[in-house]
Amino acid sequence: MALAGVCGARRACKDERGSAMHNFKENMIKRFFMLNGLLSIVILLGIFYLLLSRSLPALQEVGLKNFFAPGYWKPTAFATPQYSMLNLIRGTFMVGAGSLLFAVPLGVACATYLAEVAGSREREVLKPIIEILAGIPSVVLGFFGLVVLSPIIAQIFGLNSGINALNGSILVGIMALPTIVSLAEDAISAVPQSYRHASLALGATRWQTILRVILPAALSGIIAASMLGMGRAVGETMTVLMATGNALAKPGSFFDSVRTLSANIAIEMGEVPMGSIHYHSLFFVGLVLFIITFVINLLADIIFQRYREEF
């Protein structure tokens, strides 16, 4: 911090000289960053356009209705191909919601500990470690799920196989954890000290303060964090592909095998003949996935903006 202070002071000195050259530089830098910002919008629109244009032939050939009609996803069927995405969408939401059920309580508790309870040294150690979780390659987590976690799940719940939606949910929950912890911690830390002081002064215990004052005050941030975590979970591919079994049947419970939209694309994209209806249908699956994650992220943003407490 001390170092930063010195630098800041030096810059201030330079600014006082206020050369035209400096202003020009400043402008250029501003433009550069604006262009970068615009670029991401252009890329986003480009992806949307690509998905839409590539999926149009499938929409014409198969028809929008058939993608959402009851049935199965089996474009390479022995007899008649079917293109129903219903079970895939169900699977996607099951894994997404399941991962939240696992990750939100854990993540919020963890964030509360980091922000409110832990000393600065514990925080310094724990926070990077949690962030390392985000760096575990998804294929490693998937393998872990297949070989280690699924037999444990099977044993605990007395199932024949632990390769199911629950397995995928837990693994994806682990992946979403760093996002949720980090954002929720920011939200909790943003609650002004005066709230804490007031609560404690009124005779509330630390536990009561956290539960009744701080968490409600940080709620919008926590919800936004959870939804961003869900956005991440819905799009997760490799782990889910390896851990959930990818069965096409309608999942009845978390103990059934599911196939998600993203896993479906990953499974079939490698071998699909270019330009076939199957190929274009996969782009439509991608478009639906894109819309789902877009809506989730948008909702997260709206919640965060609208209900943000202005401290």
Partner 1 sequence: MLRMSRAMGKKRMFLFTFVLLVLVVLTVSMTGCGTQAKAPEPQAKAPETQAKAPETQAKAPETTGGQGTQAGPQSIQIRGSDSEVNLVQRLAEVFMEENKNVQIAVTGGGSGTGIAALIDGTIDIANSSRPMKEDEINLARKNGIEPVPVRFAVDGVAVIVNAGNPVEALSVTEIGAIFRGEITNWKEVGGEDSPIGLYGRQSNSGTYVFFMETVLKGDYSPQMRNMGGNADIVEAVSADKTGIGYVAIGYVTDGGKVRPGIKPVNVSKNPGETGYSPIILENITGGKYPITRPLYQFLNGKPEGAIKDFIMFELSERGQKIILEQGFYPLTDEDKKFNENSLK
Q: Does 249 bind partner 1 (CB under 8 A)?
A: yes
When asked if residue 189 is in the footprint of partner 1 (CB under 8 A), the reply is yes
**Helix-then-strand count for the chain, H and E:** 15, 2
Burial of 167 (0-12, 13-18, 19+ CB in 10 A): buried
Nearer to partner 1, 48 or 75 (CB): 75
Measured distance CA(285)–CA(73) in Å, rounded: 11
Residue 9 vs 79, nearer CB to partner 1: 79
Report if residue 295 touches partner 1, rule: CB under 8 A.
no
Please give the Cα distance from 64 to 77 (Å, whole number). 20
Q: How far is the CB of 142 from partner 1 (least distance, A)?
A: 9
| Contact letters for partner 1, residues 12-51 (x by CB under 8 A) | ----------------------------------------
Q: Where are the beta strands (DSSP E) in 237-307?
A: none
What would the DSSP string read from start to end of 60-110? HHH-HHHHTSSS-EETT-SSS-EE--HHHHHHHHHHHHHHHHHHHHHHHHH
Q: Which residue number, 163 or 296, has a Cβ lying nearer to partner 1?
A: 163
Are 142 and 243 in contact, with CB atoms under 8 Å apart?
yes
Q: Is 267 in the site for partner 1 (CB under 8 A)?
A: yes
Token representation of residue 176? 């979403």
Smallest distance from the beta carbon of 135 to partner 1, in angstroms? 8
133 binds partner 1 (CB under 8 A): no
Among 52, 69, 248, 277, binds partner 1 (CB under 8 A): 248
Is position 123 an interface residue for partner 1 (rule: CB under 8 A)?
A: yes
**Nearest Cα to 222, choosing from 298, 310, 309, 286?**
309
Position 193 contacts partner 1 (CB under 8 A):
no
Kindly list the distances between the CA atom of residue 153 and the CA atoms of 1, 68, 165, 256, 310, in Å, as whole numbers in the listed order: 48, 32, 11, 12, 44
Q: Which of residues 212-241 bind partner 1 (CB under 8 A)?
A: 241
Is 79 an interacting residue with respect to partner 1 (CB under 8 A)?
Answer: yes
Q: Does 151 contact partner 1 by CB under 8 A?
A: yes
What is the nearest approach in angstroms of partner 1 to the Cβ of residue 249? Answer: 4
SS3 (DSSP) at 282: helix
Q: By the criterion CB under 8 A, which residues form the site for partner 1? A: 1, 4, 72, 74, 76-79, 87, 120, 123-124, 127-128, 131, 135, 146-147, 150-151, 154, 160-163, 186, 189-190, 241-242, 245-250, 257, 259, 267-268, 270-274
